Structure 1
Amino acid sequence: MTDSVPPPATSTNAGFDLNRPTIVALLYLASFLTGITALIGLVLAYVWKNEPHEPWEPSHYSFHIRSFWYGLLGAIICGILTLILIGLLGYVLLAIWLVVRTVLALLKAQRKEAIPNPETLFW
């Protein structure tokens, strides 16, 4: 008797797709370690926003650009509130907010889906 081994399942997903919005999201996440790569991500988002791209990408650039500026404003407010010690909690909440926004955008970029409402403050 010969055992028939089924062929390996073919996947339509080729793995991790390093598209432009994904690069910006990864730079934002890397800024927690380096402290500067978010600026590079912001510049790339502004540059790539004006270039020809896939139809789902513009919403990602708007989302990332808004995330940066809202995050910077939040960091300034937390810095001022640190004088009365409540800013320390604000920094933790700001970091969680930024990570959640960035990871959700990263997942949508991997699926090549547009961000439904890029102007929103939350998700």
Structure 2
Amino acid sequence: MTQEHQVYLVREKEEKDSTAKIIYILYIASLVFGITSLVGVILAYVNRSEASEWLACHYRYQIRTFWIGLVYVTIGGALTYVGIGYFILLFWIIWLIVRCAKGLRALGKKQAPQGLTSWWM
């Protein structure tokens, strides 16, 4: 294997790593620009099939974060008329930030995120 080929493989791995990082950032940005979470989940679906096992876990975590977050936002939005919805939406904001921070931390350590199937954090 030539040195040029090895450099290409390292860069390819870093790029895939950076895609997962970009998705977490898009999710956090969705707190201001809501549509970015949709872009993030599409990227996660597209990249998960060709990712290594630990990185595929991140994509699964990100996909679950999107869908679970959508459930929280839908319930919170529907219940704002009775007042409790605002608390649910506040919980969702905190939940999303913590979940993305945990994912970014695990990504930096090149590990799969913990609580992969959890609805909590």
Q: What is the aligned residue count? A: 106
Structure number with larger C-alpha Rg:
1
2:73 aligned with 1:75, yes or no?
A: yes
What TM-score, normalized to structure 1?
A: 0.80
Q: Deviations over 1:9-65 (max 9, x none)?
A: xxxxxxxx76221111011011112111110000000000112x2331011111110
2:114 is matched with which residue?
Answer: 116
Cα shift at 1:89: 1.2
1:48 is matched with which residue?
Answer: 47
Counterpart Cα distance in 2 of 1:59 and 1:111 = 14
What TM-score, normalized to structure 2?
A: 0.81
2:21 is matched with which residue?
Answer: 22
2:33 is matched with which residue?
Answer: 34
- With a CA cutoff of 8 Å and minimum separation of 6, indicate the structure with the bigger relative contact order: 1
Gaps of 5+ in 1: 1-16
Larger relative helix fraction: 2
RMSD (CA atoms): 1.4
Counterpart Cα distance in 2 of 1:77 and 1:33 = 19
Identity %: 36
Cα shift at 1:117: 3.5
